[in-house]
């Protein structure tokens, strides 16, 4: 299960419906700050018949338990065990829902049920496509009742999940699917993924020859070349290192890069102006010229600063 903004309450509602004897393991990614300890296991354990724990590296998987991905780590699977790794960020997140869903799809195929809840971005869409492609079942929270509808809404438009449900019905539907009381609708097989690198172990080097077409853009994280991947309606970008971006996340990352560059320009201009004034005062050499340069650079810095803070006075 994956959630972001507004997703804690939705997660609580879903896991509260699981009976203690349900034969399934539950794995959760909630977007969190890397530096803050997650209290989600305790929060979920209070409302669920399942015990909830923080996932541990190389831990064995048990049914009837909730595993929460720790901050600043991805959760991936290897047969009957899980790993928590500090791999490249995806969609600017670590942990990333896409990483969890994709690894589950590659390892367990049609045994996977992927659930995407409230969130303010589009992490999880590519992962849901991987689950659907491998024969698993996909469920999204109805965007109309989500606190933040962007994440389930994007998956709904792009992937066409098996079920769109209000959060109160998701837990019972999972229970019925696990117990075989509810059968998914038959669908046409999906094509193989464009991004063959997704079949590699998390954190391993990416074979760029298996990617899409090189783009004219660079990775905001490592400055390497980004490859453009068009998979049906899903457009993504990925670099050699493994950083991956949805359309929304690459736009946000580039916006942040532009802002950082502009603040760097402000700092450089203001420091240059201060240096010019200092030299002019200390030596008297080219005083008028240096003072004029300082004034010009201070004006340029002021224009950029006003642009950044939205101050036009």
Compute the distance between CA of residue 112 and CA of residue 123 in angstroms, rounded to an integer.
18
Task: Look at residue 31 and give its three-state secondary structure.
Answer: coil
Class of domain 2-178: alpha beta
> What is the mean pLDDT of the segment spanning 233-242?
81
Boundaries of every domain in the chain: 2-178, 196-242, 250-309
Dihedral angle computed from the Cα positions of residues 114, 119, 122 and 124, in that order, rounded to the nearest 10 degrees: -20
In the predicted structure, residue 191 carries a pLDDT above the cut 90: no
In the predicted structure, residue 244 carries a pLDDT above the cut 70: yes
Task: Look at residue 194 and give its three-state secondary structure.
Answer: coil
> What is the mean pLDDT of the segment spanning 192-208?
50
First to last CA, the chain: 48
Q: What is the pLDDT of residues 135-151, one digit of tens each?
A: 999 999 999 999 999 99
Model confidence, pTM: 0.77
Of 197, 246, 198, 193, the C-alpha closest to 220 is 246
| pLDDT tier at 132, thresholds 50, 70, 90 | very high
| pLDDT tier at 208, thresholds 50, 70, 90 | low
Rg (CA), the chain: 24
In the predicted structure, residue 231 carries a pLDDT above the cut 90: no
* Active site residues per annotation: 4, 31, 123
Compute the distance between CA of residue 285 and CA of residue 155 in angstroms, rounded to an integer.
65
Compute the distance between CA of residue 41 and CA of residue 141 in angstroms, rounded to an integer.
21
In the predicted structure, residue 198 carries a pLDDT above the cut 50: no
Lowest model confidence (mean pLDDT) among 35-49, 259-273, 277-291: 277-291
| pLDDT tier at 261, thresholds 50, 70, 90 | confident
């Amino acid at each position: 299960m994956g959630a972001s903004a507004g997703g804690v309450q939705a997660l609580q509602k879903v896991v509260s419906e699981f009976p203690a004897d349900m034969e399934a393991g539950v794995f959760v990614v909630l977007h969190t700050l890397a530096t803050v300890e997650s209290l989600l296991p305790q929060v979920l354990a209070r409302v669920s018949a399942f015990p909830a724990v923080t996932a541990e590296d190389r831990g064995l998987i048990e049914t009837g338990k909730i595993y929460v991905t720790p901050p600043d780590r991805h959760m991936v699977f290897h047969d009957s065990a899980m790993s928590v790794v500090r791999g490249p960020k995806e969609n600017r997140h670590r942990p990333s829902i896409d990483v969890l869903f994709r690894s589950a799809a590659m390892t367990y195929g049609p045994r996977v049920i992927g659930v995407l809840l409230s969130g303010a971005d589009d992490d999880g869409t590519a992962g849901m496509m991987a689950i659907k492609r491998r024969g698993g079942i996909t469920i999204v929270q109805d965007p109309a009742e989500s606190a933040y509808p962007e994440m389930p809404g994007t998956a709904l438009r792009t992937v066409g999940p098996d079920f769109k449900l209000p959060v109160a019905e998701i837990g019972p539907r999972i229970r019925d699917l696990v117990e075989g009381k509810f059968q998914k609708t038959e669908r046409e097989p999906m094509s193989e993924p464009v991004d063959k690198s997704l079949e590699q172990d998390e954190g391993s080097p990416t074979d760029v020859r298996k990617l899409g077409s090189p783009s004219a853009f660079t990775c905001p994280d490592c400055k390497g070349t980004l490859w453009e991947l068009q998979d049906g309606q899903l457009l993504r970008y990925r670099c050699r290192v493994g950083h991956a971006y949805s359309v929304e996340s690459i736009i946000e990352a580039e916006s942040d890069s532009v802002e950082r560059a502009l603040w760097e320009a402000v700092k450089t201009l203001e420091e240059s102006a201060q240096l010019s004034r200092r030299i002019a005062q200390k030596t008297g050499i080219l005083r008028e010229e240096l003072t004029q340069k300082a004034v010009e650079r201070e004006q340029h810095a002021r224009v950029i600063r006003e642009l950044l803070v939205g101050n036009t006075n």
